[in-house]
Chains A and B, each alone.
Chain A
Amino acid sequence: MAQPETPETEPHSEHTGDDHGHDDHHEQSFVSKYILSTDHKMIAMQYMFTGMIMALIGGFMVYAFRTQLAYPGISVPGYGTVSAGEYNALVTNHGTIMIFWVAMPVLIAAFGNYLIPLMLGCDDMVFPRLNRLSYQIFLLSAIVLVVSFFVPGGGFGGAWTAYPPLSAKAEYSLTPLGSTLWLVAVALEFVAFLIGGINFVTTAMNSRAPGMKMFDMPIVIWMIVIASILFMASVGPLIAGAVMLFFDQNVGTAFFDPDRGGDPMLWQHLFWFFGHPEVYVVLLPACGITAEILTVFSRKKMFAYKTVINTALGTGILSFFVWAHHQFISGIDPRMANVFTITTVIISIPIAEMMFVYVATLYGGSITFSTPMLWALSFVVEFLLGGVTGLFLGASGADIYFHDTYFVLAHFHYTFVPIAILGTFAGITFWFPKMFGRMMSDKWGKIHFWGTVIPFNLIFIPLFMLGAAGQHRRIYSYENFPELAVPALQDLRILATNSLYVMLAFQVIFLINFFYSAFKGKKASKNPWDSNTLEWTAASPPPHGNFPGAMPNVYRGPYEYSHPDREDDFWPQDEPA
């Protein structure tokens, strides 16, 4: 069954010369096993733990600035008083970190690296050393970002969208070094994900197990691949924009300076041409994770598998047509605002359809409410709220009022939190047994689940209300806004902040459950959830090379649950007919 090796595959072919031979040694030192490994599973872990550390940093930031908002002027325990400049830097870097250093590395890079080779029945990614390089560049980018908080002038405070002229001129931003380091960090992160993305896409296109057709791939793989393609296709103009902004900051060009012939609107277009597809870049992998979990725990064949994939492809393409809905009141041509309103309304159709298909998968299934399933279900429910409020904002008329209020902020947190938090926990709790060979505690998992989801709603529903009341974003203290400083609104701020504390506190339970289970949890079998996909046919955790002995062959699609002709209610993809 093993894939015949082509002549090029002689052991020790050309690599030993220029490679220091790391991947050729079998008794590995700590460094070559954990740090310089080219094994996709180890790289996935590196991405995941780096993402977790960055999530802690981003979480600490939100703790500091939310405390300032609820209790203005207070000395935040563990931080100190938050000055106006620091407030800006905290908000900016919180957003940047959560999107680029948490959502992307965990959802795409960690799950992508872990799952793609395993689910496709390969021994590794197609370019293992490129994969390692991708992580190393990513790590460097994270270090640069963290360093930027500590340079003279402090971290960049011009918002994660980095609109010029604020971001372009040190006289305005007051962070001469911070803003450049921020930009360099983001650009490096893009390079890391470009390299990683090419690896993912090539692997999925070329290296599927014998017998596995395109439409036999699990949905999560499709989603990660489509997301990588979206990223690659949209990030180019922003890379060009980053070069221009860098020149504006450090060389004195005027690309975005209207006084000298430049145009700040150009940056907004370059940014959002990437920025909107980017939200689907993180959304799709979370949708994919959810799809896997929903089918496994309702023991039903995925409803309309091909439709889900076509929808994702369609949404991906459409996501390139809506970007200027972020700029309705930046001074874009009103005729273009009409066009972008229409495209924005259209894009909500396929996304809504995808959610309906998920619900249809559940319908009539025999559902188990395990921890991963709870996360997956909550993703569908909460994301719907986020998506629906997007429609309010997409109508350019309504957006004149809503733009840059907390309504927008609540909208995108109702999308990003389901994606990056609920979706990620769904994935981690589901694949934990495979990753670490042990089970997580279901009881503590559920406690963590409720302790996260309830406070999440208590944080952001008040923020919707504040936004509807006209509260603008990115304001350090509302004390100087008489109509916003009223107690009724301040109470909502306090409610949101206090709920945040609760939510953060419950994450400690997760961390304990995670690390305790990784070392001391109940041993997991190969296939604890009776799942069909190939990763569950490997040992838990899979050894180097994933499928020692024989590489799997594939005979059917991934979602043959409760097939009428079979006694078992699942039918692994690699089981001969």
Chain B
Amino acid sequence: MSEAAADHGHHTPAFYVKIWVILLMLLGVSLAGPEIGIQWVTLLTAFGIAVVKAYLVAKNFMHLNLERRYVVYLLLTAVAFMFLFYAGTSPDIMNHVGRNWTNVAAQAEVERATEALNHEVPHGADHGAEPASAEGAEHH
């Protein structure tokens, strides 16, 4: 089986299993990251590792390394358009103040929600028993 696979330039089952093991180890790291409790480490282990995992899956399972180059460019272009969308849209949505403007409603919501979280009551008409945990409010 494996010699025929090598003919196609594809990989062997053992190779796929190896990639899978690496992916699981990465999953472990991304779960361990937040335990350290430093925010930038969490972000790095969460999103840095997501990118690495995505790369491994795309390259080895989807065989993008063996595919024609322009397929890779096509997919990257789609991703790039999403960054473009983000770049054009986030100044209005993410920020709540800008030059000569203020998003009063959003500011009020942040204030209200922060207040509510500090009082450990989840927001919403139908909120249930479990109160918001105290660490939740730590970040800001």
Please report A residues at the B interface, Cβ cutoff 8 Å: 233-234, 237, 258-261, 263, 265-266, 269-270, 273, 320-321, 323-324, 331-336, 340
Contact A266 B88 (CB under 8 A): no
Known contacts A233-B81, A333-B95, A273 near B106 by CB under 8 Å: no
Which of A234, A261, A336 touches B91 (beta carbons < 8 Å)?
A336
Q: List 8 A-B contacts (CB under 8 A).
A: A234-B81, A261-B113, A320-B81, A321-B84, A333-B99, A334-B99, A334-B100, A340-B88
Residue of B nearest to A343 (CB): B88
Q: How far in angstroms is the closest Cβ of chain A from B89? A: 4
Give the B interface residue count (CB, 8 A).
21
Contact B88 A260 (CB under 8 A): no
Residues of B within 8 A of A234 (CB): 81
Task: Provide the bound-state CA to CA distance between A266 and B113, in Å.
Answer: 20
Interface SS of A by simple majority:
helix
Residues of A within 8 A of B81 (CB): 233-234, 320
Contact B109 A260 (CB under 8 A): yes
Residues of A within 8 A of B115 (CB): none
Lowest 8 A-B CB distances belong to which pairs?
A258-B105, A269-B89, A261-B109, A333-B98, A333-B91, A265-B92, A332-B92, A263-B93
Question: CB of B12 within 8 A of chain A?
Answer: no
Contact B99 A233 (CB under 8 A): no
Contact B105 A266 (CB under 8 A): no
Contact A335 B109 (CB under 8 A): no
Which of A259, A323, A331 touches B88 (beta carbons < 8 Å)?
A323
Contact A258 B106 (CB under 8 A): yes
Known contacts A263-B93, A334-B99, A335-B98, A273 near B78 by CB under 8 Å: no
Task: Provide the bound-state CA to CA distance between A237 and B103, in Å.
Answer: 23
Known contacts A261-B106, A263-B93, A265-B93, A336 near B88 by CB under 8 Å: yes
Excluding A273-B85, A336-B88, A336-B91, 19 further A-B contacts by CB distance (< 8 Å) are A233-B77, A233-B78, A234-B81, A258-B106, A259-B105, A261-B109, A263-B92, A265-B93, A266-B89, A266-B93, A269-B89, A320-B84, A321-B84, A332-B91, A333-B98, A334-B98, A334-B101, A335-B91, A336-B92
Task: Provide the bound-state CA to CA distance between A109 and B15, in Å.
Answer: 45
Residues of B within 8 A of A265 (CB): 92-93
Residue of B nearest to A277 (CB): B81
Which of A261, A273, A320 touches B89 (beta carbons < 8 Å)?
A273
Known contacts A258-B105, A263-B106, A331 near B84 by CB under 8 Å: no
Residues of B within 8 A of A259 (CB): 105
Pick from A233, A263, A266 the residue with the most CB of B within 10 Å.
Answer: A263
Contact B98 A269 (CB under 8 A): no
Which B68-99 residues have a C-beta within 8 angstroms of A?
Answer: 77-78, 81-82, 84-85, 88-89, 91-93, 95, 98-99
Task: Provide the bound-state CA to CA distance between A320 and B86, in Å.
Answer: 12
Residues of B within 8 A of A270 (CB): 89
Contact B78 A269 (CB under 8 A): no
Task: Provide the bound-state CA to CA distance between A260 and B106, in Å.
Answer: 8
Q: How far in angstroms is the closest Cβ of chain B from A91? A: 27
Per-position binary interface string of chain B over residues 23-66, scored 1 when its CB falls under 8 Å from any chain A CB and 0 otherwise: 00000000000000000000000000000000000000000000
Residues of A within 8 A of B88 (CB): 269, 273, 323-324, 336, 340
Residue of B nearest to A340 (CB): B88
Q: How far in angstroms is the closest Cβ of chain B from A571? A: 32
Which of A237, A258, A340 touches B85 (beta carbons < 8 Å)?
A237
Pick from B93, B105, B113 the residue with the most CB of A within 10 Å.
Answer: B105
Q: How far in angstroms is the closest Cβ of chain A from B79? A: 11
Q: How far in angstroms is the closest Cβ of chain B from A163? A: 14
Residues of B within 8 A of A333 (CB): 91-92, 95, 98-99, 101
Task: Provide the bound-state CA to CA distance between A389 and B82, in Å.
Answer: 30
Task: Provide the bound-state CA to CA distance between A260 and B103, in Å.
Answer: 13
Residue of A nearest to B77 (CB): A233
Residues of A within 8 A of B82 (CB): 237
Residues of B within 8 A of A261 (CB): 106, 109, 113
Residue of A nearest to B112 (CB): A261
Q: How far in angstroms is the closest Cβ of chain B from A377? A: 35
Residues of A within 8 A of B89 (CB): 266, 269-270, 273
Q: How far in angstroms is the closest Cβ of chain B from A230? A: 10
Which B86-134 residues have a C-beta within 8 angstroms of A?
Answer: 88-89, 91-93, 95, 98-101, 103, 105-106, 109, 113
Q: How far in angstroms is the closest Cβ of chain B from A364? A: 38
Task: Provide the bound-state CA to CA distance between A237 and B93, in Å.
Answer: 15
Residue of B nearest to A334 (CB): B99
Pick from A259, A261, A266, A270 the residue with the most CB of B within 10 Å.
Answer: A261
Pick from A270, A273, A323, A333 the residue with the most CB of B within 10 Å.
Answer: A333
Residues of B within 8 A of A237 (CB): 82, 85
Task: Provide the bound-state CA to CA distance between A334 and B99, in Å.
Answer: 7
Residues of B within 8 A of A260 (CB): 109
Contact B91 A269 (CB under 8 A): no
Residues of B within 8 A of A323 (CB): 88
Residue of B nearest to A274 (CB): B85
Q: How far in angstroms is the closest Cβ of chain B from A179? A: 23
